[in-house]
């Protein structure tokens, strides 16, 4: 799947003149898992990734090493029963063993060498959303975690304007073309 995604990016760049520098990926659930995999395997191609209710499989965490920093933004509900906030190290859910969301975020904070965290509670729509923004990373990289307190396995569109926040994040990582 990583190879296909990268070939698709290259095809779209060649066929339609899309940017060679400003490539971003987002996805929900399994698509979020794919975002983590792209961050591990192709940070040279993707400027930033944003998994929503995604997870990091234990095999990824144990066997893959990030090649370089890549900015990452996770939106995740603390009561997600499909991609559990606290992880599923023994594979009770049958999806395969995966690590806890805070552990996955901690990995990327370390890879990006973020120097500090800003915390903010977003305006309440339904569930409380706590924004944890780890900033000051290598080459301007950063890691954001939006913790949707009590939120489930969803796009979180009843808790915040997800599109607006995704764009706010991705826009911070747009570079001018060479």
pTM: 0.95
Q: CB neighbours (10 Å) of residue 139?
A: 11
Residues 24-48 pLDDT 10s: 999 999 999 999 999 999 999 999 9
> Which of 151, 141, 115, 145 has the alpha carbon at shortest distance from 133?
145
> Does 178 score more than 60 pLDDT?
no
Residues 76-114 pLDDT 10s: 999 999 999 999 999 999 999 999 999 999 999 999 999
pLDDT at residue 102, rounded to an integer:
98
Residues 130-146 pLDDT 10s: 999 999 999 999 999 99
> Which of 170, 171, 173 has the alpha carbon at shortest distance from 139?
173
58 or 176: whose pLDDT is higher? Answer: 58
């Amino acid at each position: 799947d990583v190879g296909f995604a990268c070939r698709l990016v290259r095809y779209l760049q060649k066929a339609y003149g899309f940017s060679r520098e400003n490539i971003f990926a987002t996805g929900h659930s399994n698509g979020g898992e794919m975002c983590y995999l792209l961050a591990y395997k192709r940070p040279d191609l993707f400027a930033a990734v944003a998994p929503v209710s995604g997870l990091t499989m234990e095999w990824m965490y144990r066997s893959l090493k990030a090649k370089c920093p890549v900015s990452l933004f996770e939106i995740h509900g603390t009561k997600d029963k499909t991609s559990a906030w606290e992880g599923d190290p023994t594979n009770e859910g049958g999806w395969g063993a995966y690590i806890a969301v805070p552990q996955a975020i901690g990995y990327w904070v370390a890879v990006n060498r973020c120097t500090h965290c800003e915390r903010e509670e977003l305006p309440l729509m339904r569930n409380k959303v706590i924004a944890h923004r780890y900033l000051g990373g290598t080459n301007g990289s950063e890691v954001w975690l939006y913790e949707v307190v009590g939120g489930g396995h969803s796009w979180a569109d009843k808790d915040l304007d997800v599109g607006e926040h995704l764009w706010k994040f991705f826009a911070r990582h747009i570079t001018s073309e060479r």
